Structures are given as C-alpha cells and as structure tokens.
C-alpha cells in the first residue's frame, strides 16, 4: 500500500472510532522485526491507533508477558519487559499481562520462554462485544481466528488484521477467503508511521522519496 491508500484506510474509521476495539498481541508484534528489520515503536503505534479507536482504554488493549526470568520465585521483572509494559501504559493502553514461563527444551538443552495470551484476548473480545462493531487485530497468529469467526457469524463483528508479510498464519488467509476477515494490512507499508528510526534508514528514503 502507498500513503494515499493507507490514508483512505484510516479515513474509513473516522466515524467508527467509538465502536472499534484494537487488540495488540505484542509478543507477536515484537517478532516482526525479523521480517521488517525495524521495530514497531509503541509510542508511534499509539499515535496510529488514534485514527482507529477513541481514547478509551477498554478499546485499546495491549497483551504482553511479564518476564521475571527463569527463577519462578523472582519478584522483579526484567528491564526490557518492564520498559515495554510502562511504555504501553504511558500511551494509554489497557495492559493485560501474565507471568512468562520458562520451560526446559530437552532437544536443545536450554530454557525456552512461553507466554500465550490467546485465551485472554479471546475472552476479552467476547466480554466487550457490546462495546464495538469493528476489530483491529495486530497479530499474524492464526489462533484467534476461531473467535473472530464466531464473532462475525453470530454478532457481525468485522475484523481487520495488521501483520508483517512473512509472519501471517494460513488461518488468516483462510479468514479473508471465507469472508470473516475484512482485510489484511501489511505493517511493512506503515514504516513511515511506526518506525521511530526511519529517518536514519537509507532504505526508507529510497522507498518513499
């Protein structure tokens, strides 16, 4: 998408912001940097969402794990995890979190992090269903498509997905083909809105200027 097409997409929500819920699976979003070669900045993400949903924390939902390290009894979260959660709070998101688990991977003989918030996202989408008509989902994970389909078929909730091009589950593509996902927005095209370091990015200048 070019800037004009993105502008039209954002304008579509101009009179729908009071009835739009935004769900950010930040654990998934953070992995997009592997494809993008840049990070989605939380402040810039908050600025973008102002075009999509009103300044109501219930409709601006941010899901991320609280990482205290592999010691389950450790009371203090890591600096990175703390920074993410604090920045989300500062940008007026409703932050939903739970503790990251560390599970031993016998194959690689190391500890792997696990923190799946899909159930929390699905429950909140159902719980808040009277407060929105449109869903903006920041996640390329297909696990939520089951509840997205349910909400579409039973309550006519329309879903728009943001994901990086190389991080899109087959279930999302199926959702578009089956009609319960309205459209897929490639976050790659939103670099000029979401990458704080874009002004130092030569690739960015070649693309847009």
- Calpha distance 144→146 (Å, rounded): 5
In a domain, 207, yes or no: no
Per-residue pLDDT tens over the stretch 35-85? 899 999 999 999 999 999 987 889 999 999 887 767 766 778 888 888 999
Question: Mind giving me the DSSP string for 69-126?
Answer: -S-TT--S--HHHHHHHHHHHHTT-EEEEEEPEEEEETTTTEEEEE---HHHHHHHHH
Cα Rg of the chain (Å, integer): 17
In a domain, 206, yes or no: no
Domain housing 165: 3-199
| pLDDT at res. 20 | 97
Backbone dihedral angles phi then psi of residue 2, each to the nearest 5 degrees: -95, 180
Per-residue pLDDT tens over the stretch 147-184? 999 999 999 999 999 999 989 999 999 999 999 999 99
In a domain, 208, yes or no: no
State whether residue 18 is helix, strand or coil.
helix
| pLDDT at res. 40 | 94
Q: Is the pLDDT of residue 185 over 60?
A: yes
| pLDDT at res. 208 | 43
In a domain, 83, yes or no: yes
Q: Judge contact between 20 and 133, C-beta under 8 A.
A: yes
Which CATH number goes with the domain that contains 137?
Answer: 3.40.50.1010
In a domain, 209, yes or no: no
Q: What is the tally of structural domains in the chain?
A: 1
Q: Judge contact between 28 and 167, C-beta under 8 A.
A: yes
In a domain, 26, yes or no: yes
């Amino acid at each position: 998408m070019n800037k004009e097409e993105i502008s039209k997409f954002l304008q579509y929500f101009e009179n729908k912001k009071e009835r739009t819920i935004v769900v950010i699976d930040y654990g998934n979003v953070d992995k997009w940097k592997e494809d993008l070669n840049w990070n989605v900045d939380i402040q810039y993400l908050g600025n973008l969402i102002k075009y999509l949903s009103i300044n109501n924390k219930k409709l601006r939902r941010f899901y991320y794990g609280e990482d205290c390290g592999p010691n389950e009894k450790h009371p203090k979260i890591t600096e990175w995890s703390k920074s993410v959660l604090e920045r989300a709070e500062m940008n007026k998101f409703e932050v939903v979190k739970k503790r990251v688990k560390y599970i031993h991977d016998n194959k690689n003989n190391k500890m792997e992090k696990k923190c799946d918030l899909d159930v929390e996202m699905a429950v909140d989408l159902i719980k808040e269903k009277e407060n929105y008509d449109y869903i903006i989902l920041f996640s390329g994970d297909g696990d939520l498509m089951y509840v997205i389909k349910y909400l579409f078929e039973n309550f006519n909730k329309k879903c728009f997905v943001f994901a990086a091009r190389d991080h899109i589950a087959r279930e999302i593509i199926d959702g578009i083909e089956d009609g319960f996902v309205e459209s897929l927005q490639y976050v790659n095209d939103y670099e000029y809105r979401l990458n704080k370091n874009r002004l130092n990015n030569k690739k960015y200048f070649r693309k847009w200027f």
